[in-house]
Amino acid sequence: MKGKELKQSLKEALRRFSFRTTPDDLKRRGVENVHVVGLDRIVGLVEEAVRRTLARSFHLGNQGAGTLAAGAKEEFLKLLERTKDLEKARDEAERMRKELEAQVDTLRLRLKETEAGLHKERQRIKETVEAQALLEEAKLAEAIRTLFRTWEGREDLSLLREEVVGLVSAHVVQEKNKALAAAMEERDEEAQRLRRRVAKLASSLEKAEEALRNYARNGQIDQGISSVFRTIQGLSPVDPEYKRKKDVLKDIFLSNLKLQKGIETGEQKP
């Protein structure tokens, strides 16, 4: 099982670290012929080379070299397992980033709407409280004046009357400001809460984006593996079985054409 895993992992590692090029690039560099070695063959050679080197360098018998090779295999697999974990973490970070972006967008919108609402509400509260206060003030002043009118005729009371009116007015203004501040504070708390949430999410988003940038810098995000063919190929005219293959390829195409055109027109649907 480990052997199979190792072969598979070696293949993946070879693909990941191999240099990619195209026949056109090679031609431009003046290369006319290339030797092609299959991945299986390379993997086999690497395994055998490791085993022989261990046996020769450390004067180990087959069993000793085998034990060392098994240990090395295990370490190699652990390293690759770690890479797999990193890839899993990258996918998770990518998913998290998308979720966070969506949350931040929603919250930013909500914050904007709330702040606009808050501004309007503030104005409304201010106007209401002020109007109410003015009314209360006028009522109170009138009540006090009425009271004092009952005391008219007594010369020593005129000064007192003005002082009482002034004092009560100041009190009313103070009460008005307190009520206004309390109302504003309640609305501000919600805005503050939203701001804190946006800040927290923005920070998480930044971390997720940084993690993704790191993966990209380390070459973890692959753009895919290029095909060795730049253009559409086809059967080589020098193929020894050219005629026969040409005929069977045509048959395959025709049966597929019939099948697929049937799908498109619905002819073959039950």
Partner 1 sequence: MNEPSQTPNPSTPDPGPADKSHGVLYVGIDLGTSRTSVCASNGVRQTLASYVGYPKDVVSRKALGKDILFGQEAMDNRLSLRFFRPLEKGELKGSDREDSPEAKENLQAARDLIHHTIELCAPRKDELIYAVIGVPAQASIHNKNAIIEAAKDIVDSVMLCSEPFAVAYSMDRLMDVLVIDIGAGTVDLCRMHGTMPEDSDQITLYKGGDWLDQEIFKEFKTACPGADFNINMVKTIKEKYAFVGEALDPVLVEFPVKGKPTTFDVTEPLRRACKRIIPPMVEALHELVASFDPEFQERLRRNVLLAGGGSQIRALDVEIEKEMKERLGGGRVERIEDPLYAGANGALKIAHDMPGEYWQQLR
Residues of the shown chain interacting with partner 1 in the complex, contacts defined by CB under 8 A: 11, 15, 22, 39, 88, 91-92, 222-236, 239, 241, 244-245, 247-260, 262-263, 268-270
Identify which of residues 102 and 225 has a Cβ nearer to partner 1 in the complex.
225
Sign of CA dihedral 213, 217, 223, 224: negative
Residue 129 contacts residue 180 (beta carbons within 8 Å): yes
Cα 232 to chain centroid distance, Å, stands at: 37
User: Could you give the CA distance from residue 184 to residue 92 in angstroms, rounded to a whole number?
Assistant: 42
Min dist CB 205 to partner 1, Å, is 20
Min dist CB 261 to partner 1, Å, is 9
**Structure token digits, residue 237:** 């005219």
Identify which of residues 159 and 232 has a Cβ nearer to partner 1 in the complex.
232
Min dist CB 39 to partner 1, Å, is 7
Burial of 129 (C-beta count, 10 Å sphere; 0-12/13-18/19+): buried
Min dist CB 61 to partner 1, Å, is 24
Min dist CB 194 to partner 1, Å, is 27
| Dihedral over alpha carbons 216, 219, 223, 227 (to 10 degrees) | 180
User: Could you give the CA distance from residue 199 to residue 180 in angstroms, rounded to a whole number?
Assistant: 28
Identify which of residues 162 and 239 has a Cβ nearer to partner 1 in the complex.
239
Identify which of residues 132 and 256 has a Cβ nearer to partner 1 in the complex.
256
Identify which of residues 37 and 159 has a Cβ nearer to partner 1 in the complex.
37
